[in-house]
């Protein structure tokens, strides 16, 4: 009887070790993709000027104040396409939805709060951004404060650089 018990115990121990070895060497199917560290998108903003309703992607919420010549106090709400190149008519890979307001009397400066909503086959989810951008600077950094989907709990910096600017109605970042 003691020999039978030892044989059963050894068999069970052998199978447990075999299962553990198989599980330790298999590839996990729940492994998540590596996070994207850097990618470049182009933000196209066409401001409503009273005559371009069909093409406008953003609109001032209030009238321009006469406090300064730098649009101080103007609030703009937008739903802008984001593309992989500078061309406005390229297929959008995301939409930037949010607002910005001009918050400095002595120069152009805007505070941004928006969400990038990815709608391409490469990325799914959102990326939340906020921060001030000195428009006279070559580059501006905004904080990445979160996200969903492929960008779940994202943190970091989004760097903006102006590519094209038509002062009265549109710009590309």
Q: What CATH number does the domain containing 117 carry?
A: 2.40.480.10
Q: What is the pLDDT at residue 10?
A: 66
Residue 14 forms part of a structural domain? no
Q: How many domains does the chain have?
A: 1
Q: What domain range includes position 130?
A: 35-172
Residue 24 forms part of a structural domain? no
Write the secondary structure of the chain as one string of H (helix), E (strand) and C (coil): CHHHHHHHHHHHHHHHHHHHHHHHHCCCCCCCCCCCCCCCCEEEEEECCCCCCCCCCEEECCCCCCCCCCCCCCEEEEEEEEECCCCCCCCCCEEEEEEEEECCCCCCEEEEEEEEEEECCCCEEEEEEEEEEECCCCEEEEEEEEEEECCCCCCEEEEEECCEEECCCEEEC
Residue 154 forms part of a structural domain? yes
pLDDT tens-digit series, residues 1-20: 566 767 676 677 666 665 67
pLDDT tens-digit series, residues 80-137: 999 998 888 889 999 999 999 999 999 989 999 999 999 877 888 999 999 998 888 8
Confidence (pTM): 0.73
């Amino acid at each position: 009887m003691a020999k039978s018990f030892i044989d059963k115990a050894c068999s069970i121990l052998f199978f447990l070790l075999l299962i553990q070895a198989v599980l330790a060497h298999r590839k996990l199917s729940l492994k998540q993709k590596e996070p994207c560290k850097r990618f470049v998108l182009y933000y196209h903003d066409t401001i409503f000027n009273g005559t371009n309703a069909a093409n406008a992607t953003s609109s001032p919420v209030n009238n321009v104040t006469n406090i300064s010549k730098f649009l101080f106090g103007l609030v703009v709400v937008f739903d802008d396409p984001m593309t992989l190149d500078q061309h406005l008519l390229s297929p959008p890979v995301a939409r930037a939805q949010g607002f910005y307001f001009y918050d400095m009397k002595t120069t152009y400066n805007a505070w941004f709060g928006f969400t990038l909503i990815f709608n391409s086959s490469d990325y799914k989810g959102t990326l939340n951004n906020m921060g001030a951008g000195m428009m006279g600077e070559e580059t501006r950094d905004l904080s990445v404060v979160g996200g969903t989907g492929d960008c779940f709990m994202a943190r970091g910096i989004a760097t903006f650089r102006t590519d094209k600017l038509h002062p009265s109605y549109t710009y590309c970042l």
